[in-house]
Amino acid sequence: MPTYAKKLLLEDCLITATGCIDRFDIELSDANRTKTYTKKIPGVSAENVSVSKRWVNRTKSLYIDVVIHRGDEVETCGFQVDTYIYNKYEYSVKDGVLTITLHEIVNEEPQFDLV
């Protein structure tokens, strides 16, 4: 399968009183069945980044919440995850880049034979 990539503006940030991370680059991969969000955060170590999931029962929505501590400043952001498509996530901070990868649910191909 071919791999393709496109960059999108993350417009569904959850804005808090402390602000919002304004932009992620997003790469979609058919071959790996993943969607990867990246954000440059120079000078921030992994210990100062928190990524977690949050379930909102009333709306049946799952969110990924990101908190970045830069000294006394805190940046927060979140985005909704389509749980019909993705069922796992992982994140890392390396060389000043935060990477969040969502993994697709792998569905078995149904039997559909020519008669």
Could you tell me the domains of the chain? 25-104 (2.60.40.790)
Low-confidence stretches of the chain (pLDDT beneath 50)? 1-21
Q: How many Cα neighbours within 13 Å face the side chain of 113?
A: 2
Compute CA distances 37 → 11, 53, 62, whole Å. 13, 15, 16
Q: What is the pLDDT of residue 11?
A: 36
Q: What is the pLDDT of residue 23?
A: 67
Q: What is the pLDDT of residue 7?
A: 34
Q: What is the pLDDT of residue 30?
A: 85
pTM tops 0.85, yes or no: no
Could you tell me the two tokens for 36? 């990867």
Q: What is the pLDDT of residue 103?
A: 95
Q: What is the pLDDT of residue 19?
A: 34
Q: What is the pLDDT of residue 27?
A: 86
Q: What is the pLDDT of residue 25?
A: 82
